[in-house]
């Protein structure tokens, strides 16, 4: 069955960096677009970034453009999100998710807390 397992969330100071990972299994990872979506505490869902199956097409939300970098390693069935210059407003649970006609499967999420 499809499984997405995020890791790397932590408490980090403003201005700091963090790298999130998402390990995929149960499907042909290299054939799917993948997304990072976040949810601030008590708030709604916000699309952060996506990467095409080959990695050649990448988009970012305006709120993270220039600070976050999405990447993938199809040989390792893994998705990454490098987050730099972190701000308090980046505090959220970060989910990786798969696109198949729609965003269908989500991981359980990893919590990123930005605080001094």
Partner 1 sequence: QSALTQPASVSGSPGQSITISCTGTSSDVGGYNYVSWYQQHPGKAPKLMLYDVTSRPSGVSNRFSGSKSGNTASLTISGLQAEDEADYYCSSYRSSSVYVFGTGTKVTVL
Site of interaction with partner 1 (CB under 8 A): 33, 35, 37, 44-47, 50, 52, 57, 59, 61-62, 95, 99, 101-109
**Angle (nearest 5°) at CA 53 between 67 and 66:** 10
Q: Distance between CA 113 and CA 55 in Å, rounded?
A: 28
**Bridge partners (DSSP) listed for residue 100:** 102
Nearer Cβ to partner 1 (17/108): 108
Longest dimension (CA), the chain: 41
Nearer Cβ to partner 1 (63/84): 63
Nearer Cβ to partner 1 (17/57): 57
Nearest approach, Cβ of 50 to partner 1 (angstroms)?
A: 6
């Amino acid at each position: 069955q499809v499984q997405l397992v995020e890791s790397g969330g932590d408490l980090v100071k403003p201005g700091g960096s963090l790298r999130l990972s998402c390990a995929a299994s149960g499907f042909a990872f290299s054939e799917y677009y993948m997304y990072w979506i976040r949810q601030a505490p008590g708030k709604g869902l916000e699309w952060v970034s996506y990467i095409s199956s080959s990695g050649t097409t990448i988009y970012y939300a305006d709120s993270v453009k220039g600070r976050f970098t999405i990447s993938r390693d199809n040989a390792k069935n893994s998705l990454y999100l490098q987050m730099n210059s972190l701000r308090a407003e980046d505090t959220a649970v970060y989910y990786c998710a798969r696109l198949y006609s729609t965003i269908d499967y989500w991981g359980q999420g990893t919590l990123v807390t930005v605080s001094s």
